[in-house]
Homo-oligomer: A and B are copies of this chain.
């Protein structure tokens, strides 16, 4: 009935995370290999997997952390009131999400909590995105015939669409932010 957690555990876990962050700093997320991490942390491979379900679980944690930091930063800024201002305000979040193709793919993959997994930091960020934008929209100069929540979900959909296109060899004509602004303009502009 007792499940003591030894101090050693926390230390090992911290070493693994620090090692992983070092590896990522050097070569990016995409290139991270579990072997490199355990070697840098000075533990056996099996230890890694008793701390993290699998490689993706570590990645979700690390990328999720950074994503949360982006949200914190955005929430510090001023409240945007127009479509271009909204696109601009969200920029730090979008920039991180598209910093690496691997990062974008993983975020999308974890954006919804799957049946098995309990809800993780990335899925929470997707809810937070909608709440954040919906909050802005309540006082912004946008159409009022549609609820802020629905409008915010649309903003998310358009942002993902724009980000996908960023990794697309076609469509490289327009930049990401130009495209997003066009979408948001069309979606948020008051009907008149």
Chain A residues in the interface with B (C-beta under 8 A): 101, 105, 108-109, 111-115, 117, 119, 123, 127, 146, 150-151, 153-154, 156-158, 160-161, 164-165, 167-171, 182-183, 186-187, 191-192
Contacts and interface: CB of A to CB of B under 8 A. Distances in A.
B154 A114 contact: no
B165 A156 contact: no
B157 A113 contact: no
A183 B119 CA distance: 25
Kindly report how many copies of this chain are found in the complex they form together.
Answer: 2
A170 B118 CA distance: 10
A114 B114 CA distance: 27
Given A154-B183, A160-B160, 19 more contacts: A108-B164, A111-B168, A112-B164, A112-B167, A112-B169, A112-B170, A113-B169, A113-B170, A115-B169, A119-B169, A123-B168, A146-B186, A153-B183, A154-B158, A154-B187, A157-B158, A157-B183, A187-B187, A191-B192
24 contacts: A105-B109, A108-B164, A111-B168, A112-B164, A112-B167, A112-B169, A112-B171, A113-B168, A117-B169, A123-B168, A127-B170, A146-B186, A150-B182, A150-B183, A150-B186, A151-B186, A154-B158, A154-B187, A157-B157, A157-B158, A157-B160, A157-B161, A160-B160, A191-B192
Contacts of A123: 168, 170
A58 to B, nearest CB: 20
A98 to B, nearest CB: 12
Contact of A112 (B113, B150, B165): B165
Nearest to A191: B191
